[in-house]
Structure 1
Amino acid sequence: MSRLHWRTALRLLALTFLITLIPEANGYSPFMNNRHGSFSKAPENGTSEHLASPYIAPGGLAALGSKQANKDSFATSQGKNAFEVIYQWKVIDFLYPSLQARNNAIRSRAFIPENNLPLGVDRFKNRIFITTPRWNPGVPATLSYLPLPVQDQSLPLIPYPDWSFHTTPQNADCSKLVSVYRIYVDECDRLWVLDAGVIDTLTNLQQVCPPKLLAFNLHT
C-alpha cells in the first residue's frame, strides 16, 4: 500500500474514533452506559444524572453523587440524611450502682473511659445491645444495653445481664464474660454472644480464658 493510502486509512480511523466519542442527540455515549458498570444512559429531559461510582474526570479521579433536578436520588428522596443517629458519646460511660463505685473504679483504673470503644450491636424490641471488647485496660463491662426509644443520646451503658456477669481482668473468672466481640439476636429471641476470652488485645494480648459461645434467653 502506498504512503498516501496509509495516511488516508489513518485519517479514516481517527475520524471513526471521534464519531464514537461524540454523544448522540439523546445524550448517549458508549462511555456512559451500563456496560461499564458505573453509568447509565444520560437522561433526555436535561436533568443531571446520578453517577454512583468513581470515574476519571478531567484533572483527576472524582466520585460523583449529584442531586437530580427532581430530587429523587437515593440519599435525598425523603429530604432526610441517609443515616439517623440513635446514640452518640464523646466518651463512653457505664451505669454504676453508685457515684462512689464509679469514682472508685476510675481511681483504681478498672474504668478508663477513653479506652472503651463499641463494636457489635443488635436490637431486640425496646433494647439495643452493644459490645465493648477489652482491647485496652479499663473496660469494666463488655456487654451492655440501652433503652429504646431514645430519651438521651448519651446515656451510660447498662451492663447486661448485670454487673455480676462480668469478670475483672486481673482475676479472670472464665464462667463470666471476658471480652465480647460479636452478638446476634435470632428468631427465637435468643442473644448469641461470642466471647474471645482475651484482654488487652491492642497493648499486651493475653488469652486469660478459652473462647466461648453463650446464648441468653431475652424473655428472662
Structure 2
Amino acid sequence: RNMSTIPVLLLMFLGTSCPSRAARLLDVLFEWKEMEYAFPSPSARDVLVKTRAYIPGNSIPIDVDVWEQGNGDNQVFVTIPRFKPGVPATLTTVVLGEDGLAKLLPFPDWSWHREGNCEGLTSVFRVH
C-alpha cells in the first residue's frame, strides 16, 4: 500500500481504565494524508525533492509524545526513523504552517538532521 494514501493520525491517549472508555477519550490533535515538513522556504523544499533528500510519502511516524510544559503551551514530538530514503528529519515537533496545516519542524533544528553527520541525529525511534 502507498503510505501517502493512508491518513496518519496523531492521537493523545487520555484514559486507560478500559478499552471502551479509552476509545471515547481519544482526541485527534493533528492529521495528514501525507506528512509534510516546515521547510525554510518553498525553494528549499524544491531542492530537497530534486536531490531526493525529501521523498514525499516516505516519512512514516513511529512514536509520538506530548511534552506538557505546565503553562498550557505543549509540544508534540514525532519520531520518523529513516527506514526509507528521503526522510529529511527524524525527530520533529508539530507546528501550524502559514496555511493552517500541521507541519513537522525538525528538532532542535535542520542542522541536526544532515545525512552522514555523525554528530547529529541519525534515526530516532522513540521518545519518552
The equivalent of 1:142 in structure 2 is 90
User: Quick check: 1:75–1:82 contact (8 Å CA) kept in 2?
Assistant: no
User: Quick check: 2:95–2:105 contact (8 Å CA) kept in 1?
Assistant: no
The equivalent of 2:3 in structure 1 is none
The equivalent of 2:20 in structure 1 is 75
Is residue 2:38 matched to residue 1:91? Answer: no
Q: Which has the higher strand share?
A: 2
Q: Write the mapping of 1:157-196 to structure 2, written as runs, cut at 5 A.
A: 157-168=104-115, 172-184=116-128
Larger radius of gyration: 1
User: Quick check: 2:79–2:92 contact (8 Å CA) kept in 1?
Assistant: yes
RMSD: 2.3
Runs of 5+ unmatched residues, structure 1: 1-72, 185-220
Shift, 1:97, TM fit: 0.7
Aligned residues: 103
Greater RCO, 1 or 2 (C-alpha within 8 Å, sep 6+) = 2
Q: Write the mapping of 1:5-24 to structure 2, written as runs, cut at 5 A.
A: none
Shift, 1:147, TM fit: 4.6
Runs of 5+ unmatched residues, structure 2: 1-17, 69-73
Shift, 1:129, TM fit: 0.5
Deviations 1:118-157 (A, max 9, x none): 0111111210100000000000000000259xxx5x4110
Structure 1 runs (4+) greater than 6 angstroms displaced: none
Q: Read off the aligned partner of 2:60 and give its amino acid letter.
A: L
Q: Please, what TM-score do these two structures have when normalized by structure 2?
A: 0.72
Shift, 1:74, TM fit: 7.0
